[in-house]
Amino acid sequence: MLFSFTCRGLLLAGTLLLTAGSFSHPVRASGDVPGGTFSPALTCGPPRSDATVRHRLQAYFRSWEGVSYQWGGDSRRGTDCSAFIRGLFKAQFHIRLPRTSTEQKRQGQAVAREALKTGDLVFFRTSATTRHVGVYAGGGMFMHASGSRGVTLSRLDNPYWVAHYEAARRLPLS
């Protein structure tokens, strides 16, 4: 509980400082503060550890590997890509993602393909109306629920995925 108290304390201190500072330096509509930039987002918790993230991904993957693909499915009897990712992030990181890959693509911050970190969401445009999602597992691999192979690991440099790669997003993992 000490950690929770620390986060609350940081939020309270930040609010008080912003309030006190606003009397002499008004904040412009753009969010700029004289002498610096105001960022309303505060991340509490230990810094992201790729080893910890990788361990959590592997544990979840082992329990789902081989589960067949079923469009609209969200159980071990069959799952689609967005339900698999949604379940993974809820179980391993306590992050609630929206149900569809299109909605999931609106979460987090954009990441360049060259800057991928373990745990980043990767998105593919597989047709004009269809989007596919997976999670980067490190080493050039990503895990996802494949229409042909079920829950599996695939290489990002596979020509099919290279041709259909669309974007990546990073969520605050702890």
Of the residues 7, 81, 94, 164, which is catalytic? 81
> Would you call 144 a catalytic residue per the annotation?
yes
Of the residues 25, 44, 94, 144, which is catalytic? 144
Of the residues 7, 25, 94, 132, which is catalytic? 132
> Would you call 164 a catalytic residue per the annotation?
no
Q: What is the 3-state secondary structure (H, E, C) of the chain?
A: CHHHHHHHHHHHHHHHHHHHHHCCCCCCCCCEECCEECCCCCCCCCCCCHHHHHHHHHHHHHHHCCCCECCCCEECCEECHHHHHHHHHHHHHCCCCCCCHHHHCCCCEECCHHHCCCCCEEEEECCCCCEEEEEEEECCEEEEEECCCEEEEEECCCHHHHHHEEEEEECCCC
Report, as residue numbers or ranges, the catalytic residues.
Answer: 81, 132, 144
